Structure formats: C-alpha cells, structure tokens
Structure 1
Amino acid sequence: MQLIDLSVAIDADAWDPNQITHEIQSAADNAKEFCTEMAQFGLALEPNELPGGELLVMDNLTLNTHTGTHIDAPAHYGSAATITYGRARTIAEVPLDWFYRPGVLLDLQNVDGAVADAAYLEKEIARIGYTPQPQDIVLLRSRAAQWADTPMAFSEYVGLDRSATELLLDHGVRVIGTDAASLDPPLGDMITRFRTEGDQSALFPSHMVGREREYCQIERLSNLDALPGATGFTVCCFPVKIARAGAGWTRVVALVND
C-alpha cells in the first residue's frame, strides 16, 4: 500500500496568516526545569546526575486550530442561535467514521473566475465518470498549490458557491477538502460581489451552508497532484481531539492499494 501525505507542515518560519510561535527547549534546559519541578514534590535530583547531564528536547507552540491542514467541525460555522438543524457538534464529537472513507478528487482549475457552481461540479463529475457516494470524502484541486508558501495561496484559488456545496451534500458527502485556505471563494472576490450585487449570500457561502446542514471541511491540503486519479484511494484524516473546539489539526493521508 502506498501512503501519500496530503498535509502541510505547521511551520513558524513559513508565511501564515495566523501567528505561530515555536519555542524549542534544549535538553539541558529541560533537565534544569525538570529537577526544579521534582524538588517541589520532595524528589531530589540534580541535572548533572542525568545521563549526559541533560533530559529531553521539548517543543512549545502557540497557534490557532485553523493553522496548517485542519478540519472545520460543524460548531465552527456559527453560534447556537444561527444553527437551524439542532446542536452543532464540536471536533471531538464528530463520528470518527466520517474521516476514513473512499476519496474523490475534483479539479476546479478550469473554472472561469474564482467560483465553482453546481453546474461546473456536475460537468466535472461526468468527466471523471464517478458520482460521489454517501460519505465519500471529496477533495478539490483549487489552483492554490501553485502559490504554496506565499500570501497568494490565500487569494488566488477557486472556491465553491452555495449551490456547489449543497450538490455535494445532496450526494451524501459529509467531508469536503480543499488545497485552498477555505472552501469559500477568496475573500476579495466575495466582498467585491457583495458590494456589487448587494447579495449577502455571496459572503462565506460554504460556511453558511454549515449552519443548515451538518458537514466538515478540510482546509489547506497539499500534494493533490500525487494522487493516482480522481478515484482509487482512501482518505484518512482523523482530527486531533480537542474538547469544545470548532476545528482540529489533522495529518491527511491517502492510502492507495498496489
């Protein structure tokens, strides 16, 4: 079985719209801290008594749950007052079997503009010759990959409108992933259309569908070009279990049978 990593690294040295701090504590400093902590419990130990005079290298990070490759849970899409179908589940509450399912890759790169609608997805589904089945995980190639590690990746891509998102949910899909920063169209495009048309539905259409229908979206995927085709792989994307959180980081892997 071939394993294909579809995730981006959480990297404090790379450009990211969310601030990341990553402090690395040396093994020597960790030894001093550990011995000080043990002394509070009446356990005497000196750093020089440890093997090599040091203990362990430790990493301390500060970051947002929407940093790097992550999964948005239903609870992310709005407050209880805006959710129309009942209580929205947090990332720790979403069923695990949503995140280990056959994958389907749809290509949005030929969209004219920044928004794919249901009509485009229907043509793409016909092109690949496979209709998404209930609980398949659909991944979207959005044009963002060519701008990886730059601010352009967050503005030059193709997102879904309401009709496209609802089409996938109508097929029974519960997890939709994209290599872009969001399943929605780029922020500049949404605001321009809202100001031009005066239609509030142009703003965050995919996220707003999540207030009416329960589903998750994976954001900031990578390496979709390495997939064997539109089908023929399984997606494994279990999120980190964070209590009461609206999102969780995930290491997304595609499993391809030889």
Structure 2
Amino acid sequence: MTLDLTDTELVDLSIGIEPDAPSEPFPGSVEYHSHEDGAELLAENLHGLGIEDVDAADFPDGIGLAWEEVHAITHTGTHLDAPWHYGPESGGEPAKTIDEVPLEWCRGNAVVLDFTWKEPGSEITPDELDAQLEALDHELAPGEIVLLETGADDLWGTPEYLTEFPGMSGAATKHLVEQGVKVIGTDAYGFDKPFGEMGRRYVETGDEGELWPAHFAGRDVEYCQIEKLANLDALPRRTDVPLVTFPVVVEGASAGWVRPVAMFDETLGGEGDA
C-alpha cells in the first residue's frame, strides 16, 4: 500500500531536550540567542570574513537570526543506544557506533507490550514477555520492533521518573534479540532497573550480574534500545504499529537523539497499514 502522508495520523513517541530537566541525572542546558543577538553575531561573522562595513543595525529592523547552543550528552531526552554503548564488541565483532547502525533496523512494525502492572525496581523476564505476546495473540517476526509500556512517562518532569519503573533482565533482552528483534524501546528512564536498585542488589549479593544486565546483554547479542519513549498509551493499537525512529548521526558515538513517530492511515480509522 502506498503511503499517503496527507491521510496519515502521526503519534509522537518522544521526549525532547529540556534545559535543567529534573528527570535527567545529567540535564542538558540550552543557551538561547535572541534575534538581536543574532544580528550582532552575524555581523561579527562577516567581520571575520573581512567584510567590515556591516553592523548589527544594518539588518532589517535591526534583528538577525535566532539560534540556540545546546550542551547535552547523547543520552539526554529520547535516544537510541548503539551497540557501542554496551561494550567494544557485540557477539564477538566490533560493536557498531550510532553512525554505523543500519537505518533498516530503525523502521518497521512495532508491538507494544503492557508492563504497567510491574512493580518499580523489578525485572521483566522472558516468560513475562511471552505471556504478553500470547495475550495479544502475536508471534514476533524478525526485524519487528518491541516497545515496553511501563507508564513511567507519566512521571516525566519529576525526580521519581528516575526511580519508579521496572527494567529488563539480561535474559529477557537476549530472548527478544534471539528472535530477530534489533530494536527494543521503553518509556522509562532506563532499560535496566533503576540505578539505585542495581547498586543495592550488588552490595547485598556481590553479584556483578546485578549491574546493568540488560545493557551488557548487548555484548553477546547485537541490538539497539530506545530509552525515554512517551505516549505509548496514545497508540490506537498494540500490534502492527508502523514506526520510524531514525537517530541523529553523531560520528563514533554511543547514541543519537531520536524522535520516534508512529504512522496510521486515518482513512482506515487507524486500523490499516500506513
């Protein structure tokens, strides 16, 4: 079916980069340059090119172009983690950086699994994934994207966003990737259980497997993960969700910002393929 964007409903599944967001442990900052600043900066740019006879006041209405200067890690806001994030190798091969991730991985049909019932700090297991798929009467296909709905995005803008969510286990991560899934997403802050819970369990047990087990599963099996999704509850269906989630290319980086968008054919009431 040909995609006609004029008849397509778009569902934005992203959280943006917000200055000093309380839900970010490493919040980004944004320096805003006004139109007046822009006139000064553009005039200075021309001066640097040897064109001295242009001043800020010479621009129409004395104003130039507005722009912003962003200081943020690539894991700020909604982003796609590349295999390089998890370690230098994945499955015995050099791990891909974000600029090496195939675009084909980042578009396709998604299935949304409901884990809003899971306790914060707990881990999602392979059996629980299978149970959710069975409830949807859905069998995974290679290349399908799996999205985990925890409801944690309701806490965005609060410090609780960093602590009140369940995470994936290493075994659950491998379980999906071994079925041909290349991209897994969550609407929570992190893919693993919360930082504090991982640290507490490690201190209690001495088991290093408690530390970022879902991430480190990517050292054995190759996949990408989307963190900080939003609005999964706004999707009109749970399976066969047409999704694009292309990352911004940052050379040699462990992640890239994404704006995942689900697309539905409005002429079919959201029931048909986009």
- TM-score of the superposed pair, with normalisation by structure 1: 0.94
Measured in 2, the distance between the counterparts of 1:155 and 1:199 equals 21
Could you tell me which residue of structure 1 aligns to residue 144 of structure 2?
136
Spell out, residue by residue over 1:160-181, the C-alpha distance to the aligned partner (whole angstroms, 9 max, x if none): 1111111111210000000111
Q: Is the 8 A contact 1:85 1:213 kept in 2?
A: no
Calculate percent identity across the aligned residue pairs: 38
**Preserved CA contact (<8 Å) 1:12 1:22:** yes
Q: Which residue of 2 aligns with 1:57?
A: 66
Q: Which residue of 1 aligns with 2:79?
A: 70
Q: Is 1:211–2:188 an aligned residue pair?
A: no
Alignment partner of 1:222 is 2:230: yes
Quote the residue 2:204 is aligned against: 196
SS in 2 for 1:183: coil
One-letter identity of the residue aligned with 1:216: C
Q: Alpha-carbon deviations, 1:173-206, whole Å to 9, x = none? A: 0000001111111122222322333322121111
> What amino acid does structure 1 have at the position aligned with 2:73?
N
Correspondence 1:252 to 2:257: no
Give the 3-state SS of the residue equivalent to 1:228 in structure 2. Answer: coil
Please name the residue that 2:181 is paired with: 173
Contact 2:56 2:62 in 1 (8 A): yes
**Corresponding letter in the other structure for 1:158:** P
- Counterpart in the other structure of 2:161: 153
The total of aligned residue pairs comes to 256
The answer to which of 218-227 and 16-25 deviates more is: 16-25
Q: Does 1:11 align with 2:18?
A: yes
* Worse overlay, 36-45 or 69-78: 36-45
Task: Please give the per-residue CA displacement for 1:10-61, whole angstroms capped at 9, x wherever unaligned.
Answer: 1105312113211111111211121122122222312222111111011111
1:107 aligns with 2:151: no
Cα distance in 2 between the residues matched to 1:160 and 1:13: 27
The separation in 1 between residues aligned to 2:151 and 2:232, in whole angstroms, is: 11
Match of 2:43 among 35, 43, 54: 35
- Specify which of 16, 21, 45 is matched with residue 54 of structure 2: 45
Q: Deviations 1:83-117 (Å, cap 9, x if unpaired)?
A: 45211111011101111110110111223561111
RMSD: 1.5
| Residue 24, structure 1, aligned to residue 32, structure 2 | yes
What SS does structure 2 have at the residue aligned with 1:92?
Answer: helix
User: What code does the residue aligned with 1:104 have?
Assistant: V
Please give the alpha-carbon distance, in whole angstroms, between the structure 1 residues aligned to 2:110 and 2:195: 27
The residue aligned with 2:270 is none
Moved more, 185-194 or 230-239: 185-194
Please say if 1:187 is aligned against 2:195.
yes
> How far apart in 2 are the matches of 1:174 and 1:250?
16
13-22 or 96-105: bigger deviation: 13-22
Unaligned 5+ runs, structure 1: none
